[in-house]
Amino acid sequence: MGLSYRKSSPVLEAVGHDEWSYTALTKVPLHAIFTFLIFLLTSDVFVTMVFAALFLPLYYAPSALLGWPWAAAGVMLGLSLAWSQMLDLYEAGFMLLVFVLPWLLAPSQDVENPSLKDRKIQLNLALWGSVMIVGLYLVLTWALLLSSIDSVNFEAHELYGAPFLAAIGVCLFVYTRRKDDAGENLWLLAGSSAIALIGALFFPDSFGADSSTAISAQLQRGHIVWLCLPFLVLALAPVAREVWRQGVKAKSKGVWKRIPLGAHVVHFGLLLLLLGHLSTTTLVERGDASHRLSLVKNEMIVHDGIGYEFTELILDDESLEVGDGFVGVNILVYDINNEGDATQIGEVRPGMLRFDAQNLPRSEVDTLTRLTGDVVFIFDGSQSNALMQTVQQDGLESVELVRVTIYVLPHSHAVWVGWGLMIAGMTLVAVSQVKNEPLSADDSKFIRSEEE
């Protein structure tokens, strides 16, 4: 599992041939020693195996400095395991030290510092950044999921994933403006950063919903949204413009142009999905008690401008395609205007399905779709036994109170539209690859020119 570098590589020639490497440092098998020490510190075979998988390519690379993607993944691994409290600080610190050792011990070189005002530098950062963001986020997700086997920690995914969402917006913005003025790109990014900082410091509660709910000791959910939103919105118009341009070229210059068109459709769908994610996931605290409502029979309860009226309890053991029994509630939903007048906008029936063979009930969620987004209704399964006892003793009409969890998810349509665009774009790319012949030399030159 080693990295191979050709001596004729332009990158290698630019930085010189006498590069630092672990193997040249000493004949002692440091890879075996470090792996053994990681196992002694963590007592975790799985973590040790992942460490070895990331460290071996870096160890065997002729130039460890050119193996920086492996080092970055290793640093992300150590940080993720520390954030998820799977490793103590000294254990994670040792892991980070192993991966950054080349930059601590390698001799300094006189290398010209690249300028961010250079258009090609910005393009390379955007291209490499997108790859690294996805790779590092996978490492982070793996560590958080591994630590959440016993108890799911959604807040950790939101908190630690927020910088990656912002970085995705930055990369898409820079790439789709690769032909525009590089200095103007920096000013726009600086302005977005200022907006994010000011909003997070002074207006963290401005988004409503659960934006004031704490997601960590110092941060609220509104802080997370402010960190991501300006950069995702900034990238929206340039990516949409790129989709339009690629669509025009696909019509005028040949069917094979559908490949870049499909790729940018995926990018646009991803942006919409992430924007919808901020409203439907980041700003909604799933465990907050404010989303659990107690509904009195034939009495409308108004919550966040929407009225809910519980009308009847439903028991069904016969007309079911799945399950052996169903218990649920019928709820009328009303829209409340500024004058307080109520207009019925829908009817939902959330409940629970019973499976006698498995003795494992399954929640049946119902959804009311509106122009502004979805309203999700979840029947509180913990009350089902008490309700059944009441029904057996006094009948269906005796049930006067039920509990329902209700989530109002504004802009949820952006999530579904984003998913649809991503699937359509990936399908377009796949179909184009099957139908199209290998690209000619002229076509290949054109694709390369698109990145300049």
Please give the model's pTM, rounded to 2 decimal places: 0.78
Q: What percent of the chain shows pLDDT beyond 90?
A: 20
- pLDDT digit string, tens, across residues 292-350: 888 888 899 888 889 999 888 887 766 666 666 777 889 999 988 888 788 889 999 88
3 state SS for the chain: CCCCCCCCCHHHHHHCCCCCCHHHHCCCCHHHHHHHHHHHHHCCHHHHHHHHHHHHHHHHCCCHHHHHHHHHHHHHHHHHHHHCCCCCHHHHHHHHHHHHHHHHHCCCCCCCCCCCCCHHHHHHHHHHHHHHHHHHHHHHHHHHHHHCCCCCCHHHHHHHHHHHHHHHHHHHHHHHCCCCCHHHHHHHHHHHHHHHHHHHHHCCCCCCCCCCCECCCCCEHHHHHHHHHHHHHHHHHHHHHHHHHHHHHHHHHCHHHHHHHHHHHHHHHHHHHHHHHHHHHHCCCCCCHHHEEEEEECCEEEECCEEEEEEEEEEECCCCCCCCEEEEEEEEEEEECCCCCEEEEEEECCEEEECCCCCCCEEECEEEEECCEEEEEEECHHHHHHHHHHHHHHCHHHCCEEEEEEEEEECHHHHHHHHHHHHHHHHHHHHHHHHCCCCCHHHHHHHHHHCC
- pLDDT digit string, tens, across residues 241-264: 999 988 888 777 665 556 788 888
> Distance between CA 117 and CA 334 in Å, rounded?
55
Residue 85 falls in which region: left (phi positive, over 0), alpha (psi -120 to 50) or beta? left
Residue type, 422: M
Among the residue ranges 22-26, 74-78, 81-85, 358-362, the one predicted with the least confidence is 358-362
Q: What integer pLDDT is reported at residue 449 of this predicted model?
A: 53
Q: Which of the four pLDDT bands, split at 50, 70 and 90, describes residue 2? A: very low
Query: Residue 131: is its pLDDT beyond 70?
Result: yes
